[in-house]
Structure formats: C-alpha cells, structure tokens
Structure 1
Amino acid sequence: MLDAPATVAQALALSADDAVAADLDGRTWWYRCRFDLTPAELDRALRLGLDGLATQASVWLNGELQLSSSSMFVRHQRVVASKQWRPSGNELLIRVEALSPLLAQQRKPRARWRAPMVAHTGLRWWRTSLLGRTPGWSPAWPPVGLTGAVWLSPADADAPSALQLDAGLSEAGVGQLSLGLHLPEGATEVHLSVTGRDEPWQFPLMLNQGRWQLRTEVPGAQAWWPHTHGEPVRYALALAWRSAGGELRHSPLGHTGFRRVALLTQEDGFGIEVNGVPVFARGACWTPMDARSLQASPTQLDAELQRLRAAGINMLRLSGATLYEGVAFFDACDAHGVMVWQDLMFANMDYPATDAAFQAQVAAELDTQLSIWRGRPCLAVVCGNSEVAQQAAMWGADASLWQPALFHEQLRERITHELPGVPYWPGSSIGGAYPFQPSAGTTSYYGVGAYRRGTRDATQSGLRFATECLALAQVPGERGMARLRASAGGTTPPVHSPAWKAGVPRDLGAGWDFDDIRDHYVERLYGESVEALRRSQPARHLQLGRAVGAELITRCYSQWRRRGSACSGALVWFLRDLRPGAGWGLIDDAGDPKQAFHALADVCQPQHLGVTDEGMNGLHIHAVNDGAEPRHGSLQWRLWRDAGVTVAEGQQTLSVPARGGISLGVSSLLLGFLDVNWAFRFGPPPAHGLHLRWLGESGELIAERVHFIDLPDDEAPRPLGHAGDPGLHAVAAPLDDGSWLVTVGSRGAARAVYFEAEGWSPSVEGFHLAPGTARTVRFTPWPGTSAPWHASVGAINAMTTVVVTHAR
C-alpha cells in the first residue's frame, strides 16, 4: 500500500549528524496513508499486514484501532471485513511513541551488570534493535517507524495456515521431509509435490486431529551443501488440494533442501558438521545493506550473496546486536549455499526474563521468526544471544549469573522443539573457565585486534571458533574516499579530524579507538612511525592502513585453515560499514570492497594455499581442498631474496584429498639445510620471499600464494623498501563493454599492489607480485560517472606510483 517501508530517518533523508539533532527516539511520529479501493476489493474481506513497527506503535484504520505493538520483531496481520472499508478516502494512521521517556521509567528487577556499549540500560525491557543506540559504533539512525512492508491482500480463507516444515538428511544420505498445516474444513485429496531437476515427487497428506500431516523419505533427493563443499541443491514445494466445493486449489510453499547439521563440541571444542563432513566456517557478521532504511530488495540481496559466494564466504552471522532479516535474505542464502549463524536479538544486557509481559513478547517474536526459518537448509545455528555471558563476566558479575535460564533452558527448549534439524547454542561467547576463553567453545576473538597481540596468537591462543574477530578501522578505497572528500568540502579529512573520526568505531569509555588498533599493527608489521606518516605522508599512512588489514586476515586465516588446526571457524566482525568512513566493514557503506575484503576472498576459496612460520621447524606450506573430489597436480615453488634473486626453486607432485588438506615443510623441498625463516640466525637471512603455485593435472592454476618472509618477532621489522624499488609496470587495453583490462607486472617483488584511478574500480587490489610475475585486473567505471580513463599503480614497498600506459 505504501510505496515502500520507511523508517523515520529514511523518510526524512536524515544524515547521521542530522539524526542526532532530530533525536528520533525522543519524539512521537505519525504516519498517514489515504487510499481508494476498487469495487472488487470492496466486496470482500482484506488482510492488512504490517511487517515491522518500531517500536511502541498503534494502528488505526478508518478511525478504528486495529492493534498496538511493543516489539519491532513481530509481524502483524489483521483481517478487515468488507463493511469497514470505504470506496474512497480510506485512512491508515500509525502512531510511533517516543521511546526515550519509556526507557527512563524505573522498572524492576534491576540489571545485575552494565553494558557500557548500550546508550540506555532501559533497552533491555524493549524488543527493539540496538542499531543506532550504540554510540561507539552505529550511527544515530535507530530503527524508528516502519521497518517492514505495509500491505493489503485478499483474505483468502482457503489458504494453508499454521505451517510447520522440516527437511533433513539421514545418516544413510536419504532425504527426509515432514510437513504439517491447517486447511479449511472439507478439504480433500491433499498432496505435496517436491520438484528438483528431475520429475517431481508426489506425496499425500493425511488428516490427523484436524491437521494435515506428512512424514516421508524422499529417495534419490540430492543433499544441500555449503557452496564451498558441494552444490546447494534446492527443491520447490507446492501444495494441491480440493476445496469443500470440489475446486482444485494450489499453493506454492517455497523451496527447501536436504542436509544434516551437527555441532562438534567434544573436548571443549566447537565445530560445525554438515552431512557428516566437518566444515571450516568462514565469512563475516552481516549488517544491513542500508543502515537508514534497513531494507534491501530481493534482487540486491541475491546479487550480494552471489558476490559473497564468489569470495568463498560460506557463513554469515546475524548478531544479536543488530536485527533479523526476512524471507528474501534466507532465499538468497539457500540458493547460494551460504550458511547462517542466527543470533536471537539479545546482546550484552541482563534481560528481565521472569517478567510475564517480556516473556509474551519473546514468544510472539519467535512465532514470527520461526515462520521464516522453518525448512531453511542454510540455517546452521540458532544462538541464544550475543556476548551476554561475556559482558556479565567482564563486569564482575558472579559466575552463577553467566548462564541465564532464558538462554540455556527456555529458548533452547523452544528452538529445539520447533526446529529439530537446527542446532541451538546458548551464546556467541561461551565455554571454558570464563565465557570468552578462546580455547573452549565459541568466543569473540580480538587477541589479534583490540588486545594487540602478535599474529601468532591466532594459533597460540588455541582458538576454537570465532563468532567475531579481526575488527579494525578498515580504510575505504578510492570511491569511498571520494565520498568522504565530497562531504568534507572537497579535501580528504585528516585522520584526527571530527569528520574522519565520526566514521571510526570505538569502545565507549576507552582512551583509544580502532584507528589506533590498525596503526599499532602498521608499526608492528611494517616498522614505520605512524606519527611521522600522519604528519608528512598522510596518503601513505592510509595505504599502509589498507594493507595491514588485509595482511592480518591472510596471516590469521592461513593459521586457522591449516590441517590439524584447533580452529573450526572464524567470522570477521562486520561485513559492511553502517556509514561512510573507516569502519569495521570489509565493504564500505556504498557496497565497494576494501582491500580487506579481497584478502578474505583470497583465503576463503575452497582450494587454498597458506604459509606459516613454525619457528625452529621452519616455514610450512598448507594446501587445503574443501571440494568433494581429490585434487591431483603439482606444486611449483621458488624462494627469492633482494630484488628477485632466486635462492632455490623446484616442482613436485601434489595430491590433496577430498575435503582435507596436507602440510609440507619447506625444508623437505630443499636438497640441504637452509635457515629459510632465519630461526637459527646463521649469517644474514637467506631468503625474503616464497612464491607458490598449485597446478592441476592439466596445468591449470588452482591456487597461488606470494609470501613475504618476515624477521622473527623479537627483531625490528625489515624496512619495506630494503630491496629497492620493485620496478612496477602496467599496460591497459579497452574492452567492448567500456571497461579496461590492466596487466600489471613487477621486476622485483611488489607488496600490496594498489591503484589510483578516480572514477574507476579495480576488480581486485592489495595482492602481492613475486619477482618477474604479472596479474590482470579489470576496471569498471563508477556508477553514474563518466571519468576519462587514467590510472596509476603502486605498492607499499615501491618508491612511487607508475602511470598505467595504453597497449599499442
């Protein structure tokens, strides 16, 4: 009925700064829609749907109160009789109450611990999102108003209702399906069709105590897999029956897939097993594609999931500090084989779980969400909350409070009963002697990150599963910086200015922000003074900031994905920024990938090569194959030093088992001893880098890795330019579709290659080039621009950028 759902921030087109001044939670807001009906619509009852009201809201239709709601997580429907409608001048009114006065009311029981990140502890009583209400990291666009569609449809009395669906896979690999629903009295000949790539199956439903039911095997059905491990095969479901009057009726029931998911929690561990195969879960924590409207179209969601699939991401987490997603999101995840870790929307706070009204709200919330989640093959875990136990422990609450019954008993019972094929986990950070112990259960891992540990802590911590990790202030790319310049009067805002800091996340009350965390690793890994860079080389400061975010992802995931690693999964905190600037996101707020995203895409591929420094055991190479078939071929390797002098090289056969991995010591490839990683420190370091190419049986490239060999941790980092300028060169050729293809090469080793091409976006950057090698990159124009083609290429170990020349 309304053209589109509109939060107040979206409807008023408020910037983040404007929203602070507008005080969205401090005011009462009204929505009004006037509309006419056709004669056909006037002759029948209509169903009024409201898919999201945030937060305390009342709805009137033609002067009559239809409903009141106090949860943004509940969808409402009302059947309105024909006599209540007018031919013209129908009026829908929605009143959204000011939330701030409601938050200020004193209520008992009092909270037993504080959650400093949350603006107001009164939010624990209200079922609404924390987005926009966590000043350290989300812009002041709290979800106020309409957060879902408002619609009218015929009130079809014959439609199926109270649908319950579960699809699974037996240990023998046979599809299993159960379905229950209500149909109007007198329905007969009820059948379900299950359609895949072949002829459909037909299954009859039986009437049992007024409910139509089916429980059957689906022989021959193919399994649904995460895309990294197989094909995400789906089947369309459709119901057919005869009404009491003998009319044949049909109703599509969407898609489902057959899979079996289990949690591996032996010996304090945590892992996810799909169809009997342990799956290393990698990806990020999902954030809304538009932080103001909280909406994305099915087309936008499908395109985004397609991009994430290409990036090798096989899991997204919906954090309890954000909000639920709808049908289109889960459709896209199902279709593209991306698993979902779904938190219930509870985070950090001490919730009033014994309050009867609160319990009723949570029950209604689950009714809404379960109607979306049933039968979803992508749904891998339902988690009770985000960091509640961690916050209680860090605040000093007694250990007896770390396992609230709401999450460990009540919600567990409801979810396991309603979703028998989906594992339940009580909290995102739980296990061990304290809830955030990395070596037990699941945790928010920031050893590498906010706690400024060295990259070897990724392994030394014994991390089992990171539900969130690697949060840095990731510097946006050229297009993101152009938007910042436009908002700051045409110049890049200095990193200490309010215009820059507005986009940088921080922990409330801390004397540092996530710029500082990123800069700590710039100094630690690259050995350059951040203070000096800020003062005299601000552009280089930002380039090193981009590079170090990517470098940390590569180093950590190479350790976590190796064979024998204790870690079974890691999800980067924030896929997408909520506002312009250097946010946590791998992707900026407009959807442009940062260098960190390209690094994650590189280390998440089903076939992966990683390199780790094993101290006195030398460098080790790790080849991982998530695919269903073994990969046979060869490994080409080359050690180099200085500007590209070959120290040693060779090629050997390489066979990696299906859904497995192998590890090789570089020393085993050599004819004699060489202190490759300078662990024994006999003389000067013999090598500065290692280039690996994994080739298939036909010579095709499966995976590649360029690894720079750093000095031991107790040594100062080797200067980036120690080997001299790498000698970059690049040639561009136009393509018929208006894009450009650039081949960039390097005489020596080039580290973290980047481009300067305002008006044009590269398909990838931040990669390394081994001496004497080249890579092809595609450039596409920024949407809505017509900038002339011009580009330069640089690397963080190059003395200057080089102009990309035109091919002759």
Structure 2
Amino acid sequence: MKHVTQFTEGWTLRHEDAALPAAVPGCVHTDLLAAGAIPDPYRGENEHAVAWVARRDWTYANELPAAEGHERADLVFDGLDTVAEIAVGGEVLGSTRNMHRGYRFDVTGLAGDLEVRFTSAYTEAEAQRERLGARPNSYPEPFQYLRKMACSFGWDWGPTLVTAGMWRPVRIERWSTARIAGVRPLVTVASDGGTGRVELRIDVERTASGAGQRLGARARVAGAEAEVRFEGDEAVLVLDVEAPELWWPRGYGEQALYDVELTLVSDDDTPLDTWSRRIGFRTVELHQQPDEHGTGFTLAVNGTPIFARGVNWIPDDALPSRITPERYRTRLEQTAAANVDLVRIWGGGIYEDEAFYDACDELGLLVWQDFPFACAAYPEEQPLRGEVEAEARENVVRLMPHPSLILWNGNNENLWGFRDWEWEPQLAGDSWGEGYYLGLLPRVVAELDPTRPYTAGSPWSGSWDHHPNDPAHGTHHSWDVWNREDYTDYLADVPRFVAEFGWQAPATWATLRRAVGADGLAVDSDAMRHRQKAIDGQEKLARGLARHFTLPDDGDFDRWHYLTQLNQCRAFATGIEHWRGHWPRCAGTVAWQINDCWPVTSWSAIDGDGRPKPFYYELRRLYADRLLTLQPRDGRLAVVADNQGPGEWSATVRLRRLAVDGAVLGEAEVLAAAGPRNVAYAPVPDELLPAAGATKEYLVADADGLRALHFPVRDKGFGYPQAEYEVAVEGSDVVITARTLVRDLVLQADRLAPAAVADTGRVTLLPGERVRIGVRGWERPDVEAARAALFCVNGVRSVNGARS
C-alpha cells in the first residue's frame, strides 16, 4: 500500500547567511515575520517597509530522508509560489513556474541536502514582459506574465505583498507497482430523479516492474459497488445508486453528501492505493435563452430556477498560506448566516483549498469558480499557454467532486476590457487571452467536466454580437454608479444578472484602531489614505456622502465613519431591492464583496479582521427569503413583496403616512400575495403618498415583522427632529427606546470590546418604539459605553440610561 509522510517539519529559510526556522505551509513573509525580521505589513504603512522582500531570491532547505521499502519515492508539493528550482545534493530535479499547480518529483534512491530555490516573481514576470512585449492591464504591476495570484501584486483593495514559498503542504509518497494518478467522478442524475450515476474515470501511474501487470479497481458509494480489471493506464467504473437523496443549495433542501471510496489492487488483490471523496447528486443548468428583454442568465439546480443571492470572494489573506481550514469555515459560516446562497471565487485570486469547497458542500453554498485571469491582457504564447492548460486540467479534476461547484467562468473583466478599455489599439494584434476564454478553457471543461456549464467571462453577453457588459444580455458588472454616479442610478437598469456591483466603506472601528493606532483615526490621515487603494477612493466616498448628507465640518472621524458605513448599506439596499423585485427577469445579484484580505477601506461586508461591518447585517436583511420594499413601479410608488421562500406569502401590509412628530396623516392596508419564489406588487393609495419634496413627512410599510420606508427627499433636506432615546443595559443586551423618530440607529459593538458582536444591524425607530440588541463577547456591560457606541442620522441626545 502506498505510504504517505507529511514533510512539513525541519525546513529553514536562508536570510543574510542565517538559517531561520520556516513553517510549511508558509511563505517568506510569514517566516520573516515570525523571526522578527520584518514588521507586520498590515500595521501602519509597513507595507512599504517590507517591499524589498519581493525583490529578493530565497532558498528553503531541509534534509531529504532516505525512502525505503517501496519501488518508488516521490517528493510532492501541493503548491509552490511561484518560480522555483528543486535540487537534492546539488542535482537539479526540476523547476516550476505556476502557483496554481502541484508538482511531483521522483526522488527514488535520493537523500541528503534538499533545496527549493525561489526566484523573485518580479524577475520572472519582467523578463517575460521584455520577451513578449508590454500588454495592457488595469494596474502597473506585471502580474499577467506568470501564473500567480494576481492580487499578490496589489489591487484596489489589497496591499502589494508579492509572496514566495511553499504555500501548500509538502509530503513524501512511497509506492510500488502502481498508484492512482487521478480520478474524475462524473456524477449525473436521471431526468426523473430516480437514479444517480457515478462514473469514475481512473488514471494510474506504474513503476517499471508494474508495467503490463493486470490491475483491479473497486469502488463503492451509497451501497452500490463495482469492480473492473484492466491492463493499461486507464479504467472506468460505473456505479448506479437508486433513489439517491439530492444535494440542494441552502434554502432549497438538504445537502445530502455521499462518500465515494476507490481502491486500486494488484492482480492478486493486494491493495496498492486508495482514493476517497464526497460527492452529491444534483443537476445544474444555465438558462441563456433569448427573450423579449434580451438574453437571460439563470442558474437552475435540480430543475429549479434560482435567484442567486451571491457575493464575490477574494483571498481571505494577502498571505494566503495563513488561511486555515478553521478560518475558511468561520468565514463561510458568516457568509451563509447572511442568507447568501452563491459565492463567486473571483479571477484575480486562487483556486481555493479543499477546505473551502468542503465547507460550501456542507453549508449549501453554490460556488462559481473563475479561472485565475483578471483585468489584464494575458499573453497566449509559450510557456504561459502550456502552464494555463496544465493548471486548468489539474484544477478541474481536483474540484469536480464538489456538488457546490456549479459554474466555471473563464475570466474577470478581460473581454469587457478588450472592448472598452482601449486594449485593442494598444495590442496591435498581439494575443491577449481570447484564445483561452473562447477556445482552450471551454475545451478543457467539455472534455473533463461536461456536467457543469462554462461561461467565457464576467461580464459577458454570450457572444461578440452584443457589448460584453450589456445589461440586457448575460452577466453585467455595474461600476459606473460607484465610480461616477449616485447609487439611486441603480434604478435605471434591470440587468439579467448582476455579477459585480458595490459601494465602499471603511473597516470597523476596532479593526482600524488596531491597524493605524489612535493617531491614525482621522479622515485624511496618511494611515487612512494608505488603506484606500481605489483610484480617487476617498474623494468618491466624499462625493457619495455629499449627495445625501450634510458632512461634518469639524473633521469628526466618528461621524464620517458612521455615515460612510451607512451610505454603503443604503447603496447596496437600493440595488438589491430593485433587482430582486424584477425576478425572474433579473436572476441574481453577486455583491462585491463579502471579505477582505487585510484592514482596509473597501466594498466588503466583513473586514480584514473578520468583523462584520454594518453592511453585513444589511446583506442579511436583503438576502432573506422575504423582502418588503417600497419602489417605483409603472410611474408610481408600490409595495413590493419579494418571496424567495418555498411557501406562499400573503402579506397584509400596513401603510402609514407619518409626520416627523409621529402624527398619523393617513393609514391603510394593502394585500401583496406572492407565491413561492415569486414577487408581488401593490400600488400605494394616492392619499398615502407624501407630497413631492415634503420635508416633514414620510411613508412606513409594515408586514410580518418587516418594514420598508420612503422619504420624499434626501437626508440633508429632510426636517428630522433631534433624536431622543433612552438607553438601558439588561444583561448583555442593549435596549433603546425612542422618544422621537430615530433614523438608521447602529450599535458599533466593537467599540464595547474588540470581540463584541451585535445581533442586529441598522434600525429605524418610530416614536415610542423599542429595540433590543443582543451583544456577545462583551464581558463587562456598561450603559455609558453602550450610549457612546450608538449612532444615528439625526443627531444624538440620549435622555437617560439605566442598567439592570
């Protein structure tokens, strides 16, 4: 039987003629940080202080042990970042140039000094750029000239920390006769759902003595068993499972998972190797039929069309070797708790670790996987083309067992970039990646994983017959709003599928306090500016605020911090409420973005320290099965009841036209009956509509514990009363009782304690209403601390406080 030994201990990193202890998995930055040789790049402006690390070559060393008892010994690297040479006893075994692949080297009979010599990624990328010629990208760094995590070179939300190292596990495998080199499980379900089929396509590698020997393969899943005998290097096993339980995304059913076990045996039935994975029985289709609105883009699982409540995912750490299985699980549990059902792995990052996809399988999170190409013209010449194909083949086979994976996507924004970002004249006929997205990658997916759909890019209209980012066709990225418009302009379009859109806000107060220190907590401090990587980002934040609010003129950081986070909530609410209300014409929203890779001002819902921003709670509300909104429909204001749940929702909506002092100016009830996975509308009676431009009245809609609000004018023009409310602390709960209208009240729980987390996001209270906000991680509740952590739009005047 094959014997596997993890080879993660005993490594050293050579630094200035010294040998530092090295962690594997890890990278140069993490090893230097552990040794105290560099400062924390996430603190202050230390990113600049560690830039030299990326320009150096580095060597990792260990002693390769003698391997005995088997015919063959392999040294296996699951991930080398990126350009490396591997040598034993001074003899070079081979070289690597792709972070996204694994590597295997025959070390039979070898032992002694082992070195993994890393060349600076800059050296390789700049050499390829010189050889092939400069090609356009969205950032000045040469990331498209080698197969490495693009955002390692910086992005509009990330630091420039160009890593090197053994970023995934290393092991030694010893085996005889033959081993399992690869398995492709093709999982299908009969059209009537009665039978599931698992077709295992098996590749083996043999030793010299094993060549020509007859082998066997046995497999079982869910009580079904099969066996095959073969003499070549390939075999196929088919297992039929009667009446399997189906795997469903969260909110649609259970996540039934089955263990598949495969054993490779010799002709005399001696076990040689094993392989096991979890699979799920489900179907997935991508509906892209033309209709009166253009060309659709609707995902269907097990025949059920789905409005995708999605988020974009970036690497959860700029130093990705630090992302543990526990961290993946925590972040994805946070994601699922926000009522998300789809996660798009963005193309400037990585193919994530198995732990990511395992968690998605268990949590019912659909996965849209970009191939790692983003925002650049990628050369198609060798050796890059060969690396792209090898990487795609390896990762398609590695990830295809996961039922959560439902879509392969060729790239992020490159087809759009070619058309709109003046790439075509700059390229002057040079290759730029089209051959990957419309040729190589779809061929690889069709050959290896025909059970899943492939789309050439995001955004993509389906063909060059339409503009790549045409909202009427296929996927759409809505970035004009953040870049140059007001978020109310989201209402102007009904895209078929919104794969990216977003609005920025800073990280939580505690995260910023840790990253920049007390002195850095100023709107335009150098430390805060350093955490704004987007072009003109601070100015865009200011312009977005100025459209809606009277800005503090005294440099009040706390007020600015609250308002920018609130504006982020409002922006996402405007878009998602509008687009959800147009289901099934619009079949999904994928918010940019769920997570951060360091402490930064960005579009995220969860900041770089893992703390939820106010937007996180807003996303949870917006992606709940039931969403009640007030929106313009057919030239007038309407109640919209969006029901993405499995049952009927007959909503009796109480409408009240209120004066700012709480006086009821009009009241009525309307019925909005929405069937399962459907939307219902009901016009607001004319007598309840606040007058256009009114500054002292507003409309409230309530139904089944949900609330929607309509204010006729923007905040800076509305005649709010100064907020008055009482604050009490009961146990670890904060209880607020409003004496006046209190608009968008937020408890910033991380101000109470770094580990404190609230269970409630922004809430608007009418006079006399009360809200109870639960707080966990708050060891010493205090009413004064609670009062100081509360913020609202219309000023703050807490009239008393009590603790019980």
- Name the CA distance, whole Å, in 2 between partners of 1:216 and 1:92: 44
**Structure 1 residues 615 and 57: alpha-carbon distance in aligned structure 2, compared to 1, 3 A threshold:** same
AA partner of residue 77 (structure 1): R
- Name the CA distance, whole Å, in 1 between partners of 2:553 and 2:69: 68
Q: Which moved more, 1:260-269 or 1:240-249?
A: 240-249
**Does the aligned pair in 1 maintain the 2:503–2:571 contact within 8 Å?**
no
AA partner of residue 642 (structure 1): V
Q: 1:31 aligns with which of 60, 65, 72?
A: 60
Matched, 1:642 2:644: no
**Does the aligned pair in 1 maintain the 2:309–2:623 contact within 8 Å?**
yes
Length-normalised TM-score, structure 2: 0.86
AA partner of residue 762 (structure 1): A
Matched, 1:478 2:506: no
AA partner of residue 150 (structure 1): V
Residue 151 of structure 1, CA deviation: 2.4
**Does the aligned pair in 2 maintain the 1:288–1:294 contact within 8 Å?**
no
1:375 corresponding residue in structure 2: 401
Q: 1:360 aligns with which of 386, 389, 399?
A: 386
- Name the CA distance, whole Å, in 2 between partners of 1:378 and 1:187: 36
Residue 660 of structure 1, CA deviation: 2.1
Matched, 1:724 2:721: yes
**Does the aligned pair in 1 maintain the 2:736–2:771 contact within 8 Å?**
yes
- Name the CA distance, whole Å, in 2 between partners of 1:326 and 1:118: 29
Deviations 1:258-305 (A, max 9, x none): 222222222323222222222122232212222224432222212221
- Name the CA distance, whole Å, in 2 between partners of 1:675 and 1:326: 54
What does residue range 490-505 of structure 1 map to in structure 2 within 5 Å? 490-505=518-533
Deviations 1:450-484 (A, max 9, x none): 131442x3242232222221142x12223223214
Q: 1:415 aligns with which of 433, 445, 461?
A: 445
**Does the aligned pair in 2 maintain the 1:124–1:351 contact within 8 Å?**
yes
1:752 corresponding residue in structure 2: 744
AA partner of residue 97 (structure 1): T
In angstroms, what is the RMSD of aligned CA positions? Answer: 3.1
**Structure 1 residues 742 and 130: alpha-carbon distance in aligned structure 2, compared to 1, 3 A threshold:** same
What does residue range 650-689 of structure 1 map to in structure 2 within 5 Å? 655-667=673-685, 673-674=686-687, 676-678=689-691, 684=694, 687-689=697-699
Q: 1:117 aligns with which of 126, 139, 152?
A: 139
1:670 corresponding residue in structure 2: none
What does residue range 499-538 of structure 1 map to in structure 2 within 5 Å? 499-507=527-535, 512-513=536-537, 515-526=538-549, 528=550, 530=551, 533-538=552-557
- Name the CA distance, whole Å, in 1 between partners of 2:231 and 2:666: 74
- Name the CA distance, whole Å, in 1 between partners of 2:648 and 2:113: 64
**Structure 1 residues 686 and 135: alpha-carbon distance in aligned structure 2, compared to 1, 3 A threshold:** closer
- Name the CA distance, whole Å, in 2 between partners of 1:321 and 1:170: 36
Deviations 1:657-705 (A, max 9, x none): 22222222233xxxxx3151535x7xx57841313222xxxxxx5xx12
Q: Which moved more, 1:592-601 or 1:754-763?
A: 754-763
**Does the aligned pair in 2 maintain the 1:224–1:232 contact within 8 Å?**
yes
- Name the CA distance, whole Å, in 2 between partners of 1:344 and 1:233: 27
AA partner of residue 137 (structure 1): W
**Does the aligned pair in 1 maintain the 2:307–2:584 contact within 8 Å?**
no
**Does the aligned pair in 1 maintain the 2:507–2:608 contact within 8 Å?**
no
Matched, 1:607 2:626: yes
What does residue range 223-372 of structure 1 map to in structure 2 within 5 Å? 223-240=246-263, 243-247=266-270, 251-267=274-290, 268-353=295-380, 355-372=381-398
**Does the aligned pair in 2 maintain the 1:190–1:241 contact within 8 Å?**
yes
Residue 347 of structure 1, CA deviation: 1.7
Residue 75 of structure 1, CA deviation: 0.6
Residue 547 of structure 1, CA deviation: 0.5
Matched, 1:69 2:96: yes
- Name the CA distance, whole Å, in 2 between partners of 1:555 and 1:774: 26
**Structure 1 residues 618 and 276: alpha-carbon distance in aligned structure 2, compared to 1, 3 A threshold:** same
Deviations 1:600-632 (A, max 9, x none): 1110122322331337322332222233x3345
2:172 corresponding residue in structure 1: 152
**Does the aligned pair in 2 maintain the 1:166–1:421 contact within 8 Å?**
yes
SS at match of 1:254: strand
Q: 2:497 aligns with which of 448, 465, 481?
A: 465
Q: 2:467 aligns with which of 410, 419, 434?
A: 434
Deviations 1:92-147 (A, max 9, x none): 31111123333333545535x52132423xx3331112213136432121232222
AA partner of residue 792 (structure 2): I
Residue 6 of structure 1, CA deviation: 1.4
1:742 corresponding residue in structure 2: 734
- Name the CA distance, whole Å, in 1 between partners of 2:123 and 2:632: 57
Give the structure with the higher percent strand: 2
Length-normalised TM-score, structure 1: 0.85
- Name the CA distance, whole Å, in 2 between partners of 1:603 and 1:101: 46
**Does the aligned pair in 2 maintain the 1:162–1:181 contact within 8 Å?**
yes
**Does the aligned pair in 1 maintain the 2:397–2:448 contact within 8 Å?**
no
**Does the aligned pair in 2 maintain the 1:428–1:442 contact within 8 Å?**
yes
1:577 corresponding residue in structure 2: 596
Residue 521 of structure 1, CA deviation: 2.4
Q: Which moved more, 1:233-242 or 1:540-549?
A: 233-242
Gaps of 5+ in 1: 668-672, 695-700, 735-739
Q: 2:421 aligns with which of 370, 390, 395?
A: 395
**Does the aligned pair in 1 maintain the 2:502–2:593 contact within 8 Å?**
no
- Name the CA distance, whole Å, in 2 between partners of 1:204 and 1:44: 26
**Structure 1 residues 806 and 92: alpha-carbon distance in aligned structure 2, compared to 1, 3 A threshold:** farther
**Does the aligned pair in 2 maintain the 1:621–1:666 contact within 8 Å?**
no
Q: 1:598 aligns with which of 604, 617, 621?
A: 617
Matched, 1:772 2:782: no
**Structure 1 residues 246 and 536: alpha-carbon distance in aligned structure 2, compared to 1, 3 A threshold:** closer
SS at match of 1:335: helix
2:125 corresponding residue in structure 1: 103
- Name the CA distance, whole Å, in 2 between partners of 1:389 and 1:654: 42
Q: 1:705 aligns with which of 674, 685, 707?
A: 707
AA partner of residue 563 (structure 2): L
**Structure 1 residues 732 and 44: alpha-carbon distance in aligned structure 2, compared to 1, 3 A threshold:** farther
AA partner of residue 40 (structure 2): S
**Does the aligned pair in 2 maintain the 1:205–1:214 contact within 8 Å?**
yes
**Structure 1 residues 240 and 369: alpha-carbon distance in aligned structure 2, compared to 1, 3 A threshold:** closer
Residue 408 of structure 1, CA deviation: 0.7
SS at match of 1:229: coil
Q: Percent identity?
A: 20
Aligned length: 750
- Name the CA distance, whole Å, in 1 between partners of 2:782 and 2:576: 38
Deviations 1:536-595 (A, max 9, x none): 433212211110101111111001111446322222223222322322322111100111
AA partner of residue 605 (structure 1): A
**Structure 1 residues 687 and 225: alpha-carbon distance in aligned structure 2, compared to 1, 3 A threshold:** farther
Residue 190 of structure 1, CA deviation: 4.4
AA partner of residue 757 (structure 2): S
Residue 805 of structure 1, CA deviation: 4.3
Residue 169 of structure 1, CA deviation: 3.0
SS at match of 1:301: helix
2:201 corresponding residue in structure 1: 180
